[in-house]
């Protein structure tokens, strides 16, 4: 656990990140590790049904790998001086990450990239979201989490 946050942020060390956004739910844990490794704040991208105090930006994803559209809310505490790293555990279609990226940009912040543990997305989405991963899904054994 102590090396996971530093490993996930390593490709972004020189990017002057000022905040990390972690997506609900596992992204909260990995986002906290990454924010700690960078010495910056953590902003949570929450799904409906959570407490969302204050002024928020709301975005909805295109269908994800299960065909669901997911709504995210993030606090408007991000602004034009922020350079933001998005963190989650696994990226498949990239639709959820893209929705959170849009929310970051609506806040006026600069989206720097996406750090995940497992990358299963397409080359075009990987490029658009500037994805860095620790492993590609194709490198995992078959039946890992039932996803490949």
Q: Is the dihedral of CA 147, 69, 29, 105 positive or negative?
A: positive
3-state helix, strand, coil in the chain (%, to 5): 35, 30, 35
Six token digits for residue 72: 């995210």
For position 28, what pLDDT does the model report?
94
pLDDT at residue 83, rounded to an integer = 98
**Does the predicted TM-score (pTM) go above 0.75?**
yes
Model pLDDT, residue 93: 92
Using 50 as the pLDDT threshold, list the residues of the chain that sit under it.
Answer: 148
Helix (H) or strand (E) holding 41: strand 41-45
Residues 6+ apart with CB under 8 A from 18: 40, 41, 81, 82, 83, 84
pLDDT at 106 (0 to 100): 95
The reported pLDDT for the residue numbered 66 is 85
pLDDT value at residue 56: 84
Q: What is the pLDDT of residue 148?
A: 43
């Amino acid at each position: 656990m102590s090396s996971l946050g530093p490993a996930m942020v390593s490709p972004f060390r020189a990017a002057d990140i000022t905040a990390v956004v972690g997506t609900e739910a596992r992204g909260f844990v990995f986002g906290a590790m990454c924010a700690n490794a960078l010495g910056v704040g953590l902003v949570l991208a929450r799904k409906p049904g959570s407490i969302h105090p204050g002024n928020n930006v709301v975005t909805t994803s295109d269908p994800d790998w299960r065909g669901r559209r997911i709504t995210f809310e993030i606090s408007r505490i991000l602004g034009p001086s922020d350079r933001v790293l998005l963190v989650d555990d696994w990226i498949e279609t990239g639709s959820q990450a893209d929705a959170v990226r849009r929310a970051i940009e609506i806040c006026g912040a600069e989206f720097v990239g996406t750090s995940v543990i497992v990358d299963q997305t397409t080359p075009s989405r990987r490029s658009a979201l500037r994805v860095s991963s620790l492993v590609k899904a194709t490198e995992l054994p078959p039946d890992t989490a039932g996803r490949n």
